[in-house]
Amino acid sequence: MKKNIGIIGYGNLGRGVALALQKTPDMALAAVFTRRDPASITPLGGALSLPLTEAPSWRDKIDVMILCGGSATDLPTQTVEYAAWFNVVDSFDTHARIPEHFTAVDTAAQASGHLALISAGWDPGMFSLNRLYANAILPEGSDYTFWGRGVSQGHSDAIRRIPGVRNAKQYTVPVESALEAVRAGKRPELNTRQKHTRECFVVLEPDADAAAVEQTIKTMPNYFADYDTTVHFISEEEFHANHGGMAHGGTVFRSGLTGSNAEHTHVIEYRLTLDSNPEFTGSVLTACARAVCRMAAAGRQGCLTLFDVPPAYLSPLSGEELRRTLL
């Protein structure tokens, strides 16, 4: 009997989850719940499209609800709200606010007797797991996280808010020489500018002042001022032809020392090269939904992160199969 999965929010991430569910032997998409007109959405695999307001009435028919809204305004309220009715999984990714989100979701899930898993995806998510494992193994050392090459939605949005800008895409690019130094075990001290550059592709309004826009971008506090930034002005046609992708990725390193005099260096590197950020993130959320089914069935309640999940629970294989084939 397949577990019934629900999705709240059917944007890129929701579709990524729906695609991942088509590859699972043990879970199926039952329904998508949306704030839009449900008739405007045709979920993959013949699942229902329903108004969000109907979600609570499905509380006995959905094993895990996967929340696919944004971290800025949707998830801080939605995950807490829906943990009252469902086991839930989200991809809340505002790192600085994870502790408060965890507490709020934990309180709601404990009160309703459900299980929640928050901040799944790749960062937070798989990158976090690799930071944790590597720190537990090598307590003496340095951590490095590089992102990209990939699109930063926040930075793209910031450029689009500049007067005279019609459209924009910003790529975060790791500095190759910094990556190589870390990979070689040199444990460099790197400031913000030394780790990433920012590359912007901008479509201007017809009467815009290109030099002024470029200056505004490059000096924007927090977003660009601390980075070496390149700005390319392109046509709307080129923008749509070449900058519609959702590729992303990055690399987490820990470079640690062992020995009686810290004479041995070890480098642990975890690298993701993703053609589709939302499809990969949706695949992680889907594996997490499987773990939540199992841990909830075993009586767990409250809020978890991937740090708390025995890895075997993410796989459809039995413990015996896993030991035989992957150990």
Token readout for 122 is 């790749």
Nearer to its own copies, 137 or 297 (CB): 137
DSSP state letters, 158-226: HHHTSTTEEEEEEEEEE-HHHHHHHHTT------HHHHEEEEEEEEEPTT--HHHHHHHHHT-TTTTTT
Longest dimension (CA), the chain: 67
The residues of the shown chain that bind its own copies, judged by CB under 8 A, are 16, 19-20, 23-24, 44, 95, 98-99, 102, 119, 124, 126, 128-133, 135-140, 183, 185, 258-260, 263-276, 279-280, 282-284, 287, 290, 305-312, 314-316, 319-320, 322-324, 326-327
- Least CB distance to its own copies at residue 309 (A): 6
- Least CB distance to its own copies at residue 2 (A): 15
- Least CB distance to its own copies at residue 118 (A): 9
Nearer to its own copies, 9 or 282 (CB): 282
Who's near 162: CB < 8 A, 6+ residues apart? 213, 216, 217
Torsion of Cα atoms, 66 then 67 then 68 then 71, to 10°: -140
Nearer to its own copies, 120 or 220 (CB): 120
- Least CB distance to its own copies at residue 44 (A): 8
Nearer to its own copies, 194 or 258 (CB): 258
- Least CB distance to its own copies at residue 316 (A): 8
- Least CB distance to its own copies at residue 144 (A): 13
Token readout for 7 is 């999705």
State the Cα–Cα distance between residues 91 and 108, nearest whole angstrom. 17
Tell me how far CA of residue 215 lies from CA of 144, 154, 173, 254, in angstroms: 30, 19, 20, 36
Nearer to its own copies, 23 or 36 (CB): 23
- Least CB distance to its own copies at residue 163 (A): 36
State the Cα–Cα distance between residues 275 and 182, nearest whole angstrom. 25
State the Cα–Cα distance between residues 167 and 171, nearest whole angstrom. 14
Nearer to its own copies, 36 or 95 (CB): 95
Nearer to its own copies, 59 or 183 (CB): 183
- Where on the phi/psi map is residue 249: left (φ > 0), alpha (ψ -120 to 50), or beta? left
Residue with tokens 């002005």: 233
